[in-house]
Each structure stands twice: as structure tokens, then as C-alpha cells.
Amino acid sequence: MAKKIIITIDGWSSCGKSTLAKQLATALGYVYIDSGAMYRAITLYFIRKNTDWSNPAEVKEALEEIVLHFECNPASGKSEIFLNAENVEYLIRDLVVAEKVSDVATIAAVRDFAVAQQRSMGLQKGIVMDGRDIGTTVFPHAELKIFMTADITIRVERRFKEMYVKNPNVTLAEVKANLESRDYIDSHREVSPLRQAEDAILLDNSNLSIEEQLDFALKLVAKKL
Ligand code: DC
């Protein structure tokens, strides 16, 4: 049987991590896990339940009520996240969630909850997981670690285009402010801040097409196999 590895993709918000992770998983027949979707789904739950996430007892209680799982949507072939058996894949992409998720992701109890599940998903290997701390904390021994970056103007344009389809009232300024604020909080938090693992390979895709970035990553995979 072909050797299976763990591939981690970390990096700044909206630099194309999930696009590359999905491409790689499809090309290799691996499972793709979007770890950010887990933090977003937890945030959605807290917002809906009016959880005061500055109160550890309320956070603990809320986490005990949350069950997350991923299921493959046969129509798109993509895995989607379920929060207590409800498909929330589209709801969690809303700006309302995006504005709170980085704060929620600073909470140690939330991270412990998510990281434990992420690690169990990697037990069989053959997985591509994207996020902020996957190569540093979740799978520090992963065989291949990629750290992605791209020019902020390009990232804002990419995310704006995605959000505009769903909400034509969204502005470039709002999207830019959200990305900058998330990047700041994600890279300055105490627990598992966003940073490039020492053994991660840097991929700046500011001037790469999605075919070129896949080609770059597949060559890295070939070296590891
Ligand atoms: O990848 P994303 O934009 O969907 O992630 C949403 C937020 O979740 C991001 O701003 C920070 C947090 N996150 C995290 O702290 N650790 C991860 N492994 C993935 C996401």
C-alpha cells in the first residue's frame, strides 16, 4: 500500500490555504479537514446561545453541548461541517462569525476541544489539514508542512469577491479591516499563535495561479513519498 503522510497548511487569512488543501487532497485521494471551520462553528454556537466567552464556566458548559463532524457533500465532493447535526458550512462564512472567530479562537478551552478532535482525525494519516497552528501544535511531526502567504491587497480582493456573491452590501474596507484584525489576533494570542514552523516550507502565492501552486506542492509531496 502507498505510504500515507500528514500534510499541514498554515498561514494568514485568505491566502488560499483551503484551495490548495482541497486540490492536494483530491490529487492524492486524502481527506481534507478545514480546522478553521471548527472554530467558526463553535463561534456560531456561542453567538446563537449568547454565551459570554469571557466566562470560563459558560464556555465549558457550551463546549459540552457541541458536537462537530464533517461529511462529504456528494454533489460538490467537498467535506462540510455539521454543528449538532445541522449543516452550517455556509452560515459560518458570514461576516458576523468572521468578526468574532479570532477572539473565540484565543480561548485555551476552545483550542483544547478543537485540537483533540483534529489529532484524532490524523491517526490514520492520509490527511491534509489547513489552519493556523496545524504544523506547530496539532501535528508537530507532520511529514510535510507548508506555510502560505500572499500580498494583503491580493488577499483582500480574493476574500471580497467571495463575500460579495453572498452579500452585495459588503465593502472592501470592511473585508480589509476584518482580515487585518484577524491576522493580528491570530499571530499575537498566547496559546498556539500563528507562526511558521521551523521545518515548514514557505509558499507565497501572490503571483501564482492555482495550477502553479498545486504543481509546487505536488513536487514537495513527491519528495516526501
Ligand atoms: O481559516 P479560517 O479563516 O476559516 O479560520 C477562522 C479563524 O479561526 C481564524 O481567524 C483563526 C482561527 N483558527 C485558529 O485559531 N486555528 C486554526 N487552526 C484554524 C483557524
Task: Output the DSSP codes for 160-217.
Answer: HHHHHHH-TT--HHHHHHHHHHHHHHHHH-SSS-----TTPEEEE-TT--HHHHHHHH
DSSP for residue 140: T
**For the CA atoms of the chain, what is the radius of gyration?**
17
Calculate how far, in angstroms, residue 183's C-alpha sits from the geometric centre of ligand 1: 10
Calculate how far, in angstroms, residue 35's C-alpha sits from the geometric centre of ligand 1: 7
Counting from 1 in the atom list of ligand 1, the atom nearest the Cα of 101 is 7
Q: What is the residue with the minimal CA distance to atom 6 of ligand 1?
A: 36
Q: Look up cell 459540552; give the residue.
A: 64
Q: Look up cell 469571557; give the residue.
A: 54
Contacts of 89 (CB under 8 A, 6+ apart): 37, 73, 80, 81
Ramachandran region, residue 202 (left: φ > 0; alpha: ψ -120 to 50; beta: rest): beta
Calculate how far, in angstroms, residue 38's C-alpha sits from the geometric centre of ligand 1: 8
Written as nine digits, the cell of 203 is: 509558499
| Structure confidence by residue, pLDDT tens digits, 10-28 | 999 999 999 999 999 999 9
- Nearest Cα to Cα of residue 24 among 8, 3, 37: 8
Written as nine digits, the cell of 62 is: 457550551
Counting from 1 in the atom list of ligand 1, the atom nearest the Cα of 37 is 4
Low-confidence residues of the chain, pLDDT below 70? 1
Query: Model-level pTM?
Result: 0.95
Q: What is the residue with the minimal CA distance to atom 11 of ligand 1?
A: 102
Q: What is the pLDDT of residue 166?
A: 87
Calculate how far, in angstroms, residue 168's C-alpha sits from the geometric centre of ligand 1: 24
Q: What is the residue with the minimal CA distance to atom 5 of ligand 1?
A: 36
- Topology of domain 6-212, per CATH? Rossmann fold (3.40.50)
Give ligand 1 pocket residues (Cβ under 6 A).
13, 35-36, 39-40, 101-102, 105, 131-134, 182, 186
